[in-house]
Amino acid sequence: MSGSGGQVRRNERGQVGGIEGLVFGVLIFVFGTLVVANAWGVIDAKLATTSAAREAARTYVEASSEAAAGPAAENAAREAILAHGRRWERTTVPPVDGAYGRCRRITVEVSYEVPLIAIPLLGQAGNGITVTSRHSEVIDPYRSGLAGTATC
């Protein structure tokens, strides 16, 4: 369009955001990536606690005595957590639920505290997420070395 004096007039119709759209797009991408990374951390911690609970329960039912079963189960849980690249300090393993004897069902619970990722400008909200897994096993009724007879 020509105006008076030969100057070209330009209107701003159709002008959308410029650099602001690019900046907000990058911010959304970065924050989204952090959220996905945190979600994967929770999934990975669930895999680690499931493995630790399973190994602890198996070790407990295969122990030679009740006195040796508890420490051996905790050691098996520790090894499984460390094998998954997790920190033992964030792990809790309460005492085994159930009595030690033929046909007895025991349950091992392993919990892990997953820290939240601190998002720039927003900081860290909350104390993290606790992931818990349980595994249950039955002590073999035909095992040697245990007192009593099988009743199951």
55-72 pLDDT per residue, tens: 999 999 998 888 889 999
**CA count, 13 A, side-chain hemisphere, 125:** 6
In the predicted model, what is the mean pLDDT of the chain? 84
92-115 pLDDT per residue, tens: 999 888 888 888 899 999 999 988
What are 135's strand-pairing partners?
Answer: 108
pLDDT number for residue 145: 75
Is a pLDDT exceeding 60 seen at residue 1? no
Per domain, the residue ranges of the chain are 19-138
Residue 60 CA to residue 55 CA, distance in Å, equals 8
pLDDT number for residue 79: 97
Residue 135: helix, strand or coil by DSSP? strand
